[in-house]
Amino acid sequence: MAAADHLQVLRQHGLFYHHGIDLGDGSVAHYLEGREILRSPVIDFCKGQDIEVINHAIASSKSTTLRRAMSRIGEKNYNLLFNNCEHFANWCKTGLHHSQQMDQFIQTGMLGITAMSKLLPLTAISKLQNIVTQTFLDEKSKDNAKKELEKLEELRIRLFKKLDEILEKVIMKVQSEPHTLEITPKINHSRDLLVKGQHIEDALTALASLESRITALLNNSNEKTEYSHSPRRF
């Protein structure tokens, strides 16, 4: 490890990688999920996990990488899909704002599992992970997948209800704000509510990705089953 290195460690029971930039003084700049870009001691960044260094074929200079990382410390614009820890680390190191992990997760349905990891118990996450990593579902797996879809639909309803409650609070807060010098903290409170709403929107988007993956698996498995059972002509 050295200053300006792009680091990654496993998080959420191995579900995904957390990324950061080594600042060369025993600290790491990283986007703490759902919060802000922090400058944390290495021990806090790795949380007991092994640290890997990501090598880039084309990378910016050490000074440019460190300058980029330092310039965004304190930023609070986290977004799971479009502005997460990997986006930040890649941008610091290469100037390109992208997340290969998210691209892969969207395709496989793992994005939904990652987003749901804080909303569901570990046993439920394990069941979902077992389903989406399969390429074909047998009859037992199909039944399990259908049950999990029903649970996800219940979660969707709860999230929509919570989102409506947050938006209603924002509207009420904006409507009740008098034009006085005390308006700033109220605006900040409204902004915090909107950030919470954005996090729920992210979870809903990821949930839709997960549901789509499971539905596609069910459909493909049903088609293969029907084909294998159809009469053959010789």
Q: Are residues 22 and 99 in the same domain?
A: yes
Q: What is the DSSP string of 156-220?
A: HHHHHHHHHHHHHHHHHHHHH--SSTTHHHHHHHHHHHHHHHHHHHHHHHHHHHHHHHHHHHHHH
61, 87, 103 - which closes a domain = 103
- Phi/psi at 119 (5° precision): -110, -15
Q: Give the pTM.
A: 0.51
Q: Are residues 121 and 66 in the same domain?
A: no
47, 71, 103 - which closes a domain = 103
Residue 206 has pLDDT above 60, yes or no: yes
Q: Are residues 158 and 124 in the same domain?
A: yes
How far is 209 from 94, CA to CA, in rounded Å?
28
Domain that holds residue 215: 109-229
Q: Are residues 131 and 220 in the same domain?
A: yes
Range 24-31, long-range pairs (CB < 8 A, 24+ positions):
24/66, 29/69, 29/70, 29/72, 29/73, 29/88, 29/92, 30/85, 30/88, 30/89, 31/75, 31/78, 31/83, 31/84, 31/85, 31/87, 31/88
Q: Are residues 95 and 182 in the same domain?
A: no
The domain total for the chain is 2
pLDDT of residue 182: 45
pLDDT of residue 17: 85
- How many CB atoms neighbour CB 133 within 10 A? 11
pLDDT band at residue 15, thresholds of 50, 70 and 90? low
> Which residue has better confidence, 103 or 89?
89
Per-residue DSSP letter, 73: T
Tell me the pLDDT of the chain averaged across its residues.
Answer: 78
Residue 70 has pLDDT above 90, yes or no: yes
How far is 107 from 124, CA to CA, in rounded Å?
21
Q: What CATH number corresponds to the domain at position 95?
A: 3.90.1720.10
Q: Are residues 161 and 182 in the same domain?
A: yes
40, 68, 103 - which closes a domain = 103
Q: Is residue 15 part of a domain?
A: yes
Residue 176 has pLDDT above 70, yes or no: no
Residue 187 has pLDDT above 70, yes or no: no
Q: Is 33 within 8 Å of 23 (Cβ atoms)? A: no
Q: Could you read off the pLDDT of 78-97 as tens digits, one per residue?
A: 877 678 898 899 999 988 87
